[in-house]
A and B are shown apart, each in its own frame.
Chain A
Amino acid sequence: MSRYKIVHTTGFKYEADVAASYNEARLLPVRDDRQIVFSTKLDIEPHGSSHEYFDYFKTRTLMFEVLEPHRELTITATTNVELRNPMPETPTLDWPSMAALVVSSLELTDAVAQTKRTSPPADLVRFAKRIAKTNSPHETALAVCAKVFSDMTYRHGVTGVHSIATEAWNNKIGVCQDFAHITLGALRAVGIPARYVSGYLHPSKQPQIGETVTGESHAWVEWWAGKWFAYDPTNDVHVLERHVVIGRARDYDDLPPLRGVYAGPHQSELFVSVQITKEG
Chain B
Amino acid sequence: MLSRIAESLFWIGRYVERADGTARLLDVHLQLLLEDPWVDEDTACRSLLEVIGSDAHYPHQLTRQELLTILSVDRGEPSSISASLNAARENARRVREIVSTELWECLNTTRSRMPRKVSIERAHDFFGWVRERTALAVGIVESSTSRDEAWTFFTLGRALERVDMTARLLATSELTEASGPSWTTILRSCGAYEAYLRTYRGVPSATNAAEFLLLDKIFPRSVTFALSRAETCLSDLQPTTARVGVTDNALRQVGQLRTNLEYRSAPEILANLTSEMIALQTGVSEISESIRSRYFPVNVMPTWVGEVS
Contact = CB atoms under 8 A, between A and B. Distances in A.
A-B interaction: yes
Interface of A: 10, 12, 19-20, 23, 161, 256-265, 268, 270, 272
Interface in B275-309: 302-309
24 contacts: A20-B302, A161-B308, A256-B308, A257-B309, A258-B307, A258-B308, A258-B309, A259-B307, A259-B308, A260-B307, A261-B304, A261-B305, A261-B307, A262-B304, A262-B305, A263-B304, A263-B305, A264-B302, A264-B303, A264-B304, A264-B305, A265-B305, A270-B307, A270-B309
Contacts of A262: 304-305, 307
Contacts of B305: 261-265, 268
A264 B307 CA distance: 11
Contacts of A259: 306-309
A80 B309 CA distance: 23
Please indicate which of the listed interface residues B302, B306, B309 has the most CB atoms of chain A within 10 Å of its own CB. B309
B306 A261 contact: yes
Interface of B: 302-309
Contacts of B308: 161, 256, 258-260
B309 A161 contact: yes
Main secondary structure of the interface of A (DSSP, over half): strand
Contacts of A268: 305, 307
A210 B8 CA distance: 64
Nearest to B304: A261
A272 B303 contact: no
A256 B306 CA distance: 13
A256 B305 CA distance: 16
Contacts of B307: 12, 23, 258-262, 268, 270
Contacts of A20: 302
Nearest to A162: B308
A161 B305 CA distance: 17
B300 to A, nearest CB: 10
Contacts of B304: 261-264
A263 B302 contact: yes
A264 B309 CA distance: 17
Contacts of B302: 19-20, 263-264
Given A20-B302, A265-B305, 6 more contacts: A258-B307, A258-B309, A259-B308, A261-B304, A261-B307, A262-B304
B144 to A, nearest CB: 40
B30 to A, nearest CB: 46
B297 to A, nearest CB: 12
A263 B301 CA distance: 10
B309 A256 contact: yes
B298 to A, nearest CB: 9
A270 to B, nearest CB: 5
Nearest to B302: A263
Nearest to B308: A259
B307 to A, nearest CB: 5
